[in-house]
Structure 1
Amino acid sequence: MAIDTPTTATTDPTTPPRTSAPPAPAQVSAPAPSSATGAPAPLGVRAKLILFVLCAAQFMVALDFSVLNVALPVLGKDLGMSQSALQWGVTAFALPSGGFLLLFGRIGDLFGRRKLFLTGLALFGAASLLATFAWDPASFLTGRALQGLGAAAIVPTGMSLLTTTFPEGPQRDRALAISGTVLSLGFTVGMVLGGVLTDTLGWRSTMGLLALFTLLVLPLAPTLLTESRHPERPRLDIPGAITVTGGLLSLIYALSTAAERGFGNAPVLVTLIAGLALLTAFGAIEARTAQPLVSLPMLRRRTVAWGNLAGLVTFSMMSTVIFALTLYLQEILGLSAFQTGLIFGVVGVAGIVTGSVAPKVIGRFGAQRTLVGSLVLQGVLTASLLGLGTGGWSVWLAVVGVTVACIGHLGAIIAYNVTVTSGVPNSEQGLATGLATSTQQVGLTIGIPLLGVLATTSTDLLSGARTVLAIDSAIVLVAAVLVGVGLRVRRG
């Protein structure tokens, strides 16, 4: 089943007709693309500026997720944080950013996406300044937590503003491709910038950079973005909001701390069970609520269910590959943090190229077949990294292998975003994008705790890295088969 253009897309029989959706409140009009070529219609100046603002905000959040990693040891010494406490520099951001995504996505649907997007930007900027000038661990971690809360408002509302601004079809596919490229590039650039800024200007510059990005985006957003919300403004599902937010917070906390403490640790086990119990309760509540936070018919859409599974796998497994390769390049081949960052910078360049090509591939083959093919490419090239050794030639295998694997990864990101938002009414775009971005955040959070620990606890680091890569590749390839069958992807 391929989703190419509004005139050729087929619809899941479990979904309502596309004509039932209310008109988008702020669509950017453009000439219809040629049905023969499926080429994206050109974007006007205003549309490009809107896309710039929304993508810049996504880039800023992705940058925040990775820019601090290299700086943590230096930061810890400066603020007097113990080695065991350093992980909270990442976890303090991941908890609210992943835990509140669904809730904030729905609040944006009901009360105004533009309003919540601007609020999130302002909070993110203020929190970045607090982290920049932090005077002790408590003030720094408070800043990181508030950054995560701001990100939880920015990401789903920014994505839903994008999908309601650009009409479904080649124009939206192109916008999502650019957004996906920027997201992946932000994560990669953050790894390079983190080392450079820490070595030259100090760790505080990594947080100061985020504040500068906010000052760039925030003045432009109010003049370009128009308000968008659910036309009927139904009541917020409070019990559902409490259980899903509590469940996600518990689950992310357990998986984030499992790498250090192990899954047998009592607090980890208790929070993991509590998270699963709360998410189960959430499902039961949604089945009985007249105005649920999450529409169960939406979750039964094949595109939403299987698309989000693909997103979870591609994010979690690629983050694990990057983690394992970082250890391999520095601990086994003896490269510096800066040299390792440059290698991943090559990946960023490949990402730019992939982002420009992906819409054409989706237009030719459909989002769902592109999604499955991209997962296969990611899995196969991850398997190629099993040939890594201790010789200098291994650097070139690492560069080629991870670059092509990341091309598949980025193709999967773009295709899965198109898949899970296609055919969804504009009134529910915040929910659909909230689900997608929750999947992204959870995926980025769970991959390293689940598999990365195998590399760090192995007596032979090279053997441990190979084990991680083998399991990683197998999971991606199995997911490709399951998603292909679940979406009933056909030839022709």
Structure 2
Amino acid sequence: MGLATATAPGTVPGRRLTGRLKVVLAVLLVAQFMLAVDFSILNVALPEIGDGLGFSLGGLQWIATSFALCAAGFTLFFGRVGDLVGRKRIFLAGLAVLGAASLAGGLATSPTVLIVARIAQGLATAAVTPAGLSLLTTSFPEGPLREKALGLNGALMSAGFTTGAVLGGVLTDLLSWRWSFFVNVPVALAVLLVAPAVIKESRPVERPRLDLPGALSVTLGLLGIVYGFARAGEHGWTDGSALAGLLGGAVLLAVFCLVERRVPQPLVPLHVLRRRTVAWGNVLGLLAFVTETSLVYLLTLYLQRTLGFSALMAGVSFGVLGLGTVAGGMLAPRVIARGSTLTALVAGGLIQTVFTAVLLLLGDSASWMWLLLPATFFGGVGNMLVIVGFMVTATSGLPDREQGLATGLATMSQQIGITMGTPVMSAIVTATAGGATAATATAGAVLHGVTVAIAVNAALVLLGVLIAALFLRGRRTPTGA
């Protein structure tokens, strides 16, 4: 199929969505929202799963870690596979695997079956997320339509992470932890029924070869890095396995860079990484997802360990953050249209920095909710301005043949940010709480550890503002389409 046919939706002129494009957008957004929910829906249910299936205390963390390792480690690989076999094809195949894995996880009767199901869910997420984002960017022309689509996508992705925490608590309390898996099945089936009829195939005219040495080195390198961070968050930065994972991952990523310089068709052409928009845009995306998702973890500790909230009440409290991210996603395209992506990145980062820093004032009584709720709302607005700005920056100005790579890089930054934020902040809390774990530390020690980690979080957001201001100055996103 030629390029003109493959990207026909993207040739639609004007600034308004047609009826068919609205259906395409709805299908892709539903799928992305479901994937985001999966990152956090089991967090509240972990103790129930452990009791129900007989997980050891040490083994319980692998329910989340096995999913995160695969979702982050294989994203770039599957992004290129989508370029080879067709993004629509791998999008549908990944959704089918996700639905089957979710059904298997809900029916699991042993820890082994559940972990295998989570690995399959992670692999499916690594396939569907970049493919879905590529289909989104190639279905909408660069400019206002794409900015609007990416704004909605970013809002629902971030809101999905928050919704997962709420939904997991509700389903576990009212029904069973198994419904945290089962809820994916009808959604995946619905998308699989509608998507083939409305989404057109998208792939470069010239199919690139698969850079197997590059794919193996970057995938194993990312697995090592993510494993190292996850292990450090659980056992501290002096843990031998954590250090081995981080060191081994760093070595493999260095090998990947050497491989990419020599192979004729590299997985990540170095000229793409030399683009300021791609390189610095992905750094900003990584920081955006590290900070906001880890803040949810920090505030969960604060609400449950310091204020004594139940898991369900803590999850419901994040509904305000979810509203903020949706509002930010709706606002971002307007900010970009009237200013630039740099405006969204800097303004959003400053808003997020201010309202994250405000949380340093939190005390040890429930009366401080008057501060926490509005701060998380406006912090969510700022974070979503950054996320949409990052998505637009990292995928703009590239030909269709490089969209799979660009969206794969953007998705990888997102997945790694979501994965590594929590263990990094967990290690800070543990270190500043006198070495005690979050479960054994006193309420006062948890509050102190959370406060220090929030300060680090705010500093990372401010670092992102400085990076945008220094390295992306003068970069405007075209708004004509």
Shorter-chain TM-score bucket reads: over 0.9
Change beyond 3 A, Cα 1:129–1:31: closer
Give the distance between the partners of 2:227 and 2:111, measured in 1 at CA: 19
Q: Give the Cα–Cα distance (whole angstroms) in 2 for the partners of residues 29 and 113 of structure 1.
A: 15
- 1:348 matched to which residue of 2? 322
Partner of 1:38: none
Aligned-partner SS, 2:141: coil
Give the partner amino acid of 1:472. Answer: N
Residues 231/31 of structure 1: CA separation in 2 closer, same or farther (3 Å cut): closer
The yes-or-no answer on 1:80 pairing with 2:61 is no
Give a deviation string over 1:425-460, Cα, whole Å, max 9, x none.
111101100000100111111112112222245051
Tell me if structure 2 keeps the 8 A contact 1:380–1:477: no
* 1:26 paired residue number: 7
How big is the alpha-carbon RMSD for the aligned residues of Structure 1 and Structure 2?
Answer: 1.8
Instruction: Check 1:294–1:30 CA distance in 2 against 1; reply closer, same or farther (3 A cut).
Output: closer
Is the 8 Å Cα contact of residues 108 and 430 (structure 1) preserved in structure 2? yes
Task: Report the AA paired with residue 427 of structure 1.
Answer: R
Structure 2 residue identity aligned to 1:401: A
- 1:449 aligns to what? 423
Secondary structure of 1:291's aligned partner: coil
Which residue number corresponds to residue 179 of structure 1? 153
Moved more, 470-479 or 413-422: 470-479
Shift of 1:351: 2.3
Q: Which residue of 1 aligns with 2:22?
A: 48
CA distance in 1, matches of 2:47, 2:190: 29
Distance 2:387 2:358 in 1: 21
Deviations 1:36-66 (A, max 9, x none): xxxxx22111101111111111111101001
Report the secondary structure of 1:298's partner residue. helix
1:218 to 192, 206, 209: 192
Q: Which residue of 2 aligns with 1:299?
A: 273
Secondary structure of residue in 2 paired with 1:182 = helix
Secondary structure (helix, strand or coil) at the match of 1:85 reads coil
SS in 2 for 1:396: helix
Deviation of 1:490 after TM superposition, in Å, equals 8.0
Deviation at 1:29, TM superposition (A): 6.1
Where 2:366 maps in the other structure, the secondary structure is coil
How far apart, in 2, do the equivalents of 1:309 and 1:404 lie? 22
Counterparts of 1:439 and 1:395, CA distance in 2: 32
The two structures have a TM-score, normalised by structure 1, of: 0.92
Give the whole-Å Cα distance in 1 for the aligned partners of 2:263 and 2:157: 35
Is 1:121 the counterpart of 2:99 in the alignment? Answer: no
- State whether residues 99 and 184 of structure 2, in contact with CA within 8 Å, keep that contact through their aligned partners in structure 1: yes
**Which residue matches 2:467?**
482
Summarize the alignment of residues 3-14 of structure 1 with structure 2, pairs less than 5 Å apart: none
Deviation at 1:230? 1.7
Q: Quick check: 1:62 aligned with 2:47?
A: no
User: Deviation per CA, 1:188-207, whole angstroms, max 9, x where unpaired?
Assistant: 11110110100010100100
Please identify, of 199-208 and 341-350, the stretch whose mean Cα deviation from structure 2 is larger.
Answer: 341-350
Whole-angstrom distance in 2 between the partners of 1:213 and 1:490: 39
C-alpha offsets along residues 121-156 of structure 1, whole Å, 9 cap, x if unaligned?
Answer: 111111001100001000000000000011111000
Correspondence 1:17-416 to 2 at 5 A: 25-28=6-9, 32-33=13-14, 41-416=15-390
Structure 1 residue 260: Cα displacement: 1.3
8 Å contact from structure 1 (residues 386, 466) kept in 2: yes
Alpha-carbon distance between aligned partners in 1 of 2:147 and 2:383, rounded to the nearest angstrom: 17
Q: C-alpha distance in 2, partners of 1:258/1:391?
A: 30
Equivalent residues of 1:168, 1:422 under 8 A apart: yes
For residue 422 of structure 1, report the CA deviation from its aligned partner: 0.4
Deviations 1:360-410 (A, max 9, x none): 111011112211221121111110101101233311111111111111111
Q: Give the SS at the match of 2:58.
A: helix
Q: Which runs of 5+ in 2 are unaligned?
A: 435-444, 477-481
Structure 1 unaligned segments of length 5 or more: list them.
1-21, 34-40
AA at the equivalent of 1:293: L
Q: Distance in 2 between matches of 1:52 and 1:479?
A: 31
| Matched position secondary structure for 1:218 | helix
Sequence identity percentage: 46
Structure 1 range deviating more: 141-150 or 475-484 = 475-484
* Cα offset, 1:332, TM superposition: 1.3
Question: Shift in Å at residue 31 of structure 1?
Answer: 6.9
Contact 1:116 1:153 in 2 (8 A): yes
Residue 462 of structure 1 pairs with residue 447 of structure 2: yes
Shift of 1:92: 0.9
> What residue number does 1:430 align with?
404
Structure 2 SS opposite 1:43: coil
What is the rounded CA distance, in whole Å, between the counterparts of 2:328 and 2:239 in structure 1? 42
Aligned equivalent of 1:7? none
Q: Verify the 8 A CA contact 2:320 2:376 in the aligned structure 1.
A: no
